[in-house]
Amino acid sequence: MAKLISRTYGDALFEVALEEDHKEGSQSDLSMQPVTDGSCLDKLYEEVCALVKILAENDDYTRLMNHPKLTKEEKEELMVSIFEGRLSKELVGFLRIIILNDRYAEIDQILDYFIEKVKEYKGIGVAFVSTPTELSPEQKKAVEEKLLSTTGYRSMEMNYETDESLIGGMVIRIGDRVVDSSIKTKLEVLKKSLLSVQISYTH
């Protein structure tokens, strides 16, 4: 249910941005070309990213917005008093709709879905790379170039982390796709293979 809600509202915000770009004539064919820098979609994307960070850093505001004793109207008034004039009228209006429809509890998922949708639309891939030791700048560049050449994305957002348990190799995750070339996984596969041989032999 939560995924359906985030998709419904996230898609709605995405369509609003595209419609605004169409009105402004910033794009001749929305269905064939990515939006240009400075478009409504770009600005809204930047605003949403900033809003996600603000919400994550302000627990008191989140608690108030989810407080069961506050009415929808009181929550709307609180949101407007904080963000009107600081966010675009499109985003403030969107937040109003979420609040008045009692969907503020899903705000994080909705905004995250919108961000992911914009990245996909603009051809931006997000990769998470795990290695047993930190990669050098040259190695990171090589990994990014390899991913760009094999995935079809126009650009990549790279996220690196170290995991000593991998022993060697690396694990790369892009969305639901995982490429695991770590020695840890290879050893686990070998172990399972050897166990199956032993079991077969005993029978």
Instruction: Please identify, among 102, 120, 138, the residue that sits at the C-terminal boundary of a domain.
Output: 120
What residue type is assigned to position 174 of the chain? Answer: I
What CATH number has the domain bearing residue 66?
1.10.520.20
How many whole angstroms separate alpha carbon 44 and alpha carbon 15?
11
Cβ burial 57-66 (10 Å sphere, 16+ → b, else e): eeeeebeebe
Same domain, 167 and 182: yes
Same domain, 80 and 8: yes
How many whole angstroms separate alpha carbon 196 and alpha carbon 24?
65
Same domain, 115 and 150: no
Same domain, 113 and 133: no
Instruction: Please identify, among 55, 89, 120, the residue that sits at the C-terminal boundary of a domain.
Output: 120
Same domain, 139 and 173: yes
Same domain, 129 and 115: no
Q: How far apart are the first and last CA of the chain?
A: 48
Instruction: Please identify, among 85, 104, 120, the residue that sits at the C-terminal boundary of a domain.
Output: 120
DSSP code string of 29-61: -TTTSPPPTTSHHHHHHHHHHHHHHHHHH-HHH
Same domain, 36 and 132: no
Same domain, 68 and 148: no
| Domains held by the chain: number | 2
From first to last of its 203 residues, what are the pLDDT tens digits of the chain? Answer: 768 999 999 999 999 888 887 776 644 444 444 444 568 899 999 999 999 999 999 999 999 999 999 999 999 999 999 999 999 999 999 999 999 999 999 999 999 999 999 999 999 999 999 999 999 999 999 999 999 999 989 999 999 999 999 988 899 999 889 999 898 888 888 788 777 765 554 55
Kindly list the strands in the beta sheet with 155-162, ordered across the sheet, starting from the edge strand earlier in the chain.
Answer: 155-162, 124-131, 171-174, 177-180
Provide the residue range defining the domain that includes 35.
2-120
Rg (CA), the chain: 23
Same domain, 142 and 191: yes
The pTM of this model reads 0.77
Joined together, the tokens standing for residue 121 give 């639309």
How many whole angstroms separate alpha carbon 49 and alpha carbon 15?
17
Joined together, the tokens standing for residue 24 give 């402004």
Burial category of 111 from C-beta neighbours within 10 Å (exposed 0-12, middle 13-18, buried 19 and up): buried
Same domain, 142 and 196: yes
Same domain, 14 and 112: yes
Same domain, 105 and 173: no
pLDDT of residue 125: 95
